[in-house]
Amino acid sequence: MTTDTDVKTDKVEKHGFQAEVSRLLHMMVHSVYSEREIFLRELISNASDACDKLRYEALTTPDLLKEDPELQVSLTLDEKAGTLTLSDNGIGMSHDELISHLGTIARSGTSAFMEQMAQKSDGKDKKDAGSMIGQFGVGFYSVFMVSENIEVTSRRAGADESWTWHSDGIGEYTLAPAAKATRGTDIVIHIKDDAKEFLDEHRLRNIIKTYSDHIALPITLVMDKDGEQKSERVNEGKALWTRPKSEITEDQYKEFYHHVGHAMDDPWMTLHYKAEGVLEYTVLMYVPSQPPMDLFDPARKSRSKLYVKRVFITDDCEDLIPGYLRFMRGIVDSQDLPLNISREMLQNNPVLAKIQSAVTKKILSELEKKAKKDPEAYATFWKSFGPVLKEGIYEDFSRRDQLMKLARFETTADKGLSSFDDYIARMKEGQETIYYITGDNINVAKRSPQLEGFRAKGIEVLYLTDAVDDFWLQMVPEYDGKKFQSVTKGVADLEDKKGDDKKDDEKKENTPEIDALIGVLKTNLEGVVKDVRLSNRLTDSAVCLVADDGDMDIHLQRILQQHQQLQETSLRVLEINADHALIKAVAAAAAKDGSVNALKDSAQLLLDQARIMEGELPEDPTAFAQRLSAVMTQSLK
């Protein structure tokens, strides 16, 4: 395939890169990457995707393929000019698409990506920075590692106009009308002096064979030989998933993962099988070893691709795999769906629903096998994708039991990640409840005063520190007959639990001083707390807040408040530790004075202390500071 791209220079538009793109290009140009050849893999993958998209659109608009039905990718080498031109006759790009695709990073998480990229580029381990290119879906920009400037000329299939995008990767790019006669995209790469290796025929051939041999399109290398232009197909071009597993090497599986997932990490798990029977389809799916950048995108889109009889249909199919498996990368190729199926027809399609059910079951079964066979490797997987997989516990009733068995958590036992079955096996004699605590992160949860009594009794508590935990717990009241119970809710039933220290087993009873203090606190905090009571869960702290039985748990209420999804909030219960020196002192003062107003500041300070221990600010920080100053001044007289 040759280019036909004469640029019209009478109407040139100048555009500035989106700020994040400008920073990214600067990092790529000024950093040292260990594998610069990945730029070619990324460009070929993009060209292959463009051809796949055209093939799909041509199912409903056949005229798009009429003039040039043989889809292909070509690489033209011009050593004299110092250029490498990659061309495809795929879907092409319009004026606005060139701006959208090449001038912006139009995906969520851009700022976080740029910060990580900057850290890698400035740190010692610079080779990892290059591996992030594929992980974050910015493969096109990798071409600036080897190019002084780039010209992208494209004509969208079915359109009458074509445009040339040009940039040196410094701060801006231009767009100008072009005279490209055929559809598709031509990328002219002006190779840098320190990257002349990419003008070598044998080097290019090796890169294509290594990274793109599996692409099911002909990739031809065009060059001058003996004064004549000759072309030669380089790749094998057979869809990898159609080949028997015995004929596929581990490296070939990896390279297909890099292609289909636009990723640079190696897959953590590969799943390749063919289903035959009532439905016939082939699956080649991967679990990444690194979380994709868009893992927590609110859209929760799957990036796996649907093919029908080896024809690409879409990579945006909500019904291919459930949202809680959106980290999977790969393809499903169906033999039973019609080739002319539209994206609208895919919604609620019974054939696709059966495929999704079977593929999901297979993925979860393979994860279960991995968890049993290699717990350490599974723990690594869980730390990356556990929060997403737990979404299924909340929304997928039919597979809830299977997902619950896959779940892993840290606990107060400090035994690494544990399953629910592990926890139950370690439960104390007579314990019939699975105790847990929710929090913003593990460190906050570990410092929670509500855990003190459970630690003293040697009762293990699960740390549930992902936001989704608060929600699936509302749907799952028990596991294996054992009820779930939050340690920050209700009265802690610890009196009937035997601890290692007999002193801990002694039942706490109210004294006249404590009764007086509780009365004073209730009066001063009326309308602010729901109740004040003696605690049997505190051993070291003076006070804590808990949710009453039947009320919403503390952490869930806080999450809903932050997202403005809660109109009314429940008042909390203030618990006091009768054995704490501070409580004894205030109780003595309450019994001696009997004045409610005299302990007004002390009551409010105890409540603010409990709030601070929950990670919250006092409702009135200024008043808190004034009360604290007054109490300190009085105590130092």
48 is in an annotated binding site: no
185 is in an annotated binding site: yes
CB 192 within 8 A of CB 173: no
60 is in an annotated binding site: no
CB 24 within 8 A of CB 62: no
Look at residue 438 and give its three-state secondary structure: strand
What separation in angstroms does the CA of 202 have from each of 24, 77, 88, 609?
Answer: 30, 11, 21, 71
* DSSP helix, strand, coil percent of the chain (3-state; round to 5): 45, 20, 35
140 is in an annotated binding site: yes
Beta strands per DSSP E along 35-110: 73-78, 83-88
DSSP string, 278-320: SS-EEEEEEEESS--TTTT-TT-----EEEETTEEEES--TTT
213-224 in b/e form (b: 16+ CB < 10 A) is bbbbbbbbbbbe
What is the Cα–Cα distance from 334 to 352, expressed in whole angstroms? 9
135 is in an annotated binding site: yes
What is the Cα–Cα distance from 70 to 67, expressed in whole angstroms? 9
What is the Cα–Cα distance from 307 to 326, expressed in whole angstroms? 17
Q: Give 301's contacts (C-beta < 8 A, 6+ positions apart).
A: 294, 316, 318, 326
Angle between helices 127-135 and 110-122 (to 10 degrees): 160
What separation in angstroms does the CA of 11 have from each of 14, 99, 178, 217?
Answer: 10, 16, 10, 36
The amino acid at residue 449 is P
Smallest CA-to-CA distance from 133 within 238, 19, 276, 31 is with 31
What is the Cα–Cα distance from 580 to 506, expressed in whole angstroms? 16
DSSP string, 37-58: THHHHHHHHHHHHHHHHHHHHH
Provide the pairing of β-strand 311-314 with 305-308: antiparallel
Q: Is 32 exposed, middle or buried (0-12, 13-18, 19+ CB in 10 A)?
A: exposed
DSSP state of 539: S
What is the Cα–Cα distance from 252 to 233, expressed in whole angstroms? 19
What is the Cα–Cα distance from 511 to 277, expressed in whole angstroms? 75
397 is in an annotated binding site: no
601 is in an annotated binding site: no
Residue 216: half-sphere exposure toward Cβ, Cα within 13 Å: 16
CA-based radius of gyration for the chain:
32
Distance of CA 391 to the CA centre of its chain: 12
What is the Cα–Cα distance from 90 to 74, expressed in whole angstroms? 12
109 is in an annotated binding site: yes
H or E element, residue 417:
none
137 is in an annotated binding site: yes
Longest Cα–Cα distance in the chain: 109
139-160 in b/e form (b: 16+ CB < 10 A) is bbbbbbbbbeebbbbbbbbeee
550 is in an annotated binding site: no
CB 447 within 8 A of CB 474: no
567 is in an annotated binding site: no
Smallest CA-to-CA distance from 442 within 417, 467, 464 is with 464
269 is in an annotated binding site: no
What is the Cα–Cα distance from 558 to 546, expressed in whole angstroms? 13
For the annotated binding site for ATP, the residues are 42, 46, 88, 93, 108-109, 135-140, 185, 343
Known binding residues are 42, 46, 88, 93, 108-109, 135-140, 185, 343
